Structure 1
């Protein structure tokens, strides 16, 4: 039996279903009909919310990215190292408790179209700005520093994906690895 939901509840339900499907299967293997069937809605209703499959996928990637950015907003009252640890703790906990969402945001850009790449790039840029703002308290920000932070963000995303697929170290060990590598990359001691 179909459950009546508000417009926003229905949209969130569809995004959650899509996140689970896209995280575990390639884009071409996820069918809009399957999403509609799981949600117990018509395909037409799904297309009312998302005009195309690509729009649906982009909305999922954007929602997962935005949720993660909101959850990881830094506390400027904390020392830089603590801000970084706290941010990494949020990312790692999100990845552990929402592995589908994390995988979508960080695997989506590889081989994806321009819009998906831009969504992921906006998230990376927001994180780079946050980190550079914090690091600027410890060292002048140069182009080398900017490049180091961008490289570090890619390193962290890759190590978290590896950890999700093969969790051979603890969450705390991964967080500490991330903290050490950032400070080494930007050439400062916290």
Structure 2
């Protein structure tokens, strides 16, 4: 194995050109489908190469290792989730909160394996995947704070309250995608109402953090 593979550094030649970026994106797309159907431990590099119909060396060329490939897939999934959650920034605050939750639930519903990987923190205790997951949580907190308070520089008590709500959303969403007893609209409504309760609790602890008016969408 090349020294760059041993250090886990992506070879410079694997970056930069449109063709190489497109090929890398294609391999990530293939990997997302593979890991959606099969656990990380159950897939060897030989399995991945065979099912992707590529030479194993090509995966090493772009990602240096199986773990590097997996992390690239997780990061790509995270980018999609954050992009989904950040949609509708131009909407009024109430609509923005509903749009954020609806897009979040749509992503989880349509990308269940990727969502479980993001929320669970990957395979075992993987510090890098946990760091990626924590980044997602902070991004969602920022998106909700922007929609609810109109800013992201919120007081520590508000951040902690919203962070706790995001963790509750993760658990509820994991249960929901596993057995979708509720429609997405109902689930969205429930989570937004839970957010309202959280924000009222924040205001009781820290009166300077005023809760917005209860969220009601125009019909």
What TM-score do the two structures reach when normalised by structure 1? 0.86
Q: 1:84 Cα deviation (Å)?
A: 1.1
The 1:97–1:74 alpha-carbon spacing in structure 2 relative to 1, beyond 3 Å, is closer
Counterpart for residue 166 of structure 1 = 179
The partner residue of 1:37 within 50, 68, 87 is 50
In structure 1, runs of 5+ residues without a counterpart are: 1-5
1:82-161 pair list within 5 angstroms = 82-109=95-122, 111-137=124-150, 141-161=154-174
**Does the Cα contact within 8 Å between 2:108 and 2:177 map onto a contact in 1?**
yes
**Does the Cα contact within 8 Å between 2:85 and 2:143 map onto a contact in 1?**
no
Q: 1:43 Cα deviation (Å)?
A: 0.8
Deviations along 1:27-71, one digit per CA (max 9) or x if unpaired, are 222222111111111111111111111111111111001012123
Counterpart for residue 3 of structure 1 = none
Q: 1:13 Cα deviation (Å)?
A: 2.7
What TM-score do the two structures reach when normalised by structure 2? 0.76
Deviates more, 1:67-76 or 1:120-129: 67-76
Q: Tell me, in whole angstroms, the C-alpha distance in 2 between the residues paired with 1:109 and 1:144.
A: 29
Q: Tell me, in whole angstroms, the C-alpha distance in 2 between the residues paired with 1:141 and 1:40.
A: 49
The 1:110–1:178 alpha-carbon spacing in structure 2 relative to 1, beyond 3 Å, is farther
Deviations along 1:104-153, one digit per CA (max 9) or x if unpaired, are 22223473311111111111111111222232249x94322211110111
The partner residue of 1:28 within 17, 35, 41 is 41
Q: Tell me, in whole angstroms, the C-alpha distance in 2 between the residues paired with 1:53 and 1:112.
A: 16
**Does the Cα contact within 8 Å between 2:100 and 2:144 map onto a contact in 1?**
no
Deviates more, 1:108-117 or 1:40-49: 108-117
Aligned residues: 185
Deviations along 1:2-35, one digit per CA (max 9) or x if unpaired, are xxxx433332232223223334443222222111
